[in-house]
Chain A
Amino acid sequence: AQTVTQSQPEMSVQEAETVTLSCTYDTSESDYYLFWYKQPPSRQMILVIRQEAYKQQNATENRFSVNFQKAAKSFSLKISDSQLGDAAMYFCAYRSPYYGGSQGNLIFGKGTKLSVKP
């Protein structure tokens, strides 16, 4: 069974600085999807970024980018030029590529709470 581990329960960053959130996962599949979700105090789950395992190029979305290391099974999220609105819980998630059975669902890490200091 696949597992996702986020080893940093809490992180803090100064406004305008850069922070990296860590995520590791375990799987025997060669193809899969990885996601980072943001959950602000409103509790809405917001997709930040996604990565297909077959793509070597790291995904980027504006100030958010990932460092995907397939061999090491590592998927970290880098937030550049941190803003007060980035303060939230961040969840790393894994999904099998197969569209059927339980494999279509996400497996989540336990989350990292990010604080942004002004």
Chain B
Amino acid sequence: NAGVTQTPKFQVLKTGQSMTLQCAQDMNHEYMSWYRQDPGMGLRLIHYSVGAGITDQGEVPNGYNVSRSTTEDFPLRLLSAAPSQTSVYFCASVGRADTQYFGPGTRLTVL
């Protein structure tokens, strides 16, 4: 049981490049979310999904896309990276027990 996994752990991009952050969970959770963590800001919700085929925006969705084709996977796409997207990104899933399980995070730097 791996829980929530994220890849890559670190990434450096140039402004304008695109990339996908991968997230997978093996707990059969319906609910999955992406957060970003910036210094002094706590964690803020980017996008979330309540099940396969269903996604919605969170607090800070601009510049990001998501899709949910399977229960297990919830990738986050940066369409055209900007320095303001330099952050640490966390994927999380929620089970019926209502506890959120977090992945290890991805540290992204956009130059």
Contacts and interface: CB of A to CB of B under 8 A. Distances in A.
Main secondary structure of the interface of B (DSSP, over half): strand
Interface string A80-118: 000000000001000101011110111011110000000
- How many chain A residues sit at the interface, stated as a range, is 20 to 34
A47 interface: yes
A97 B99 CA distance: 11
A45 B90 contact: yes
Interface in B33-81: 33, 35, 40-45, 48, 50, 56, 58
Q: How large is the interface on B (under 10, 10 to 19, 20 to 34, 35 or more residues)?
A: 20 to 34
Interface of A: 4, 9, 33, 35, 42-45, 47, 50, 91, 95, 97, 99-102, 104-106, 108-111
Given A35-B99, A95-B100, A106-B33, 13 more contacts: A43-B105, A44-B102, A45-B90, A45-B102, A95-B98, A97-B98, A99-B96, A104-B31, A104-B48, A104-B50, A105-B33, A106-B100, A108-B44
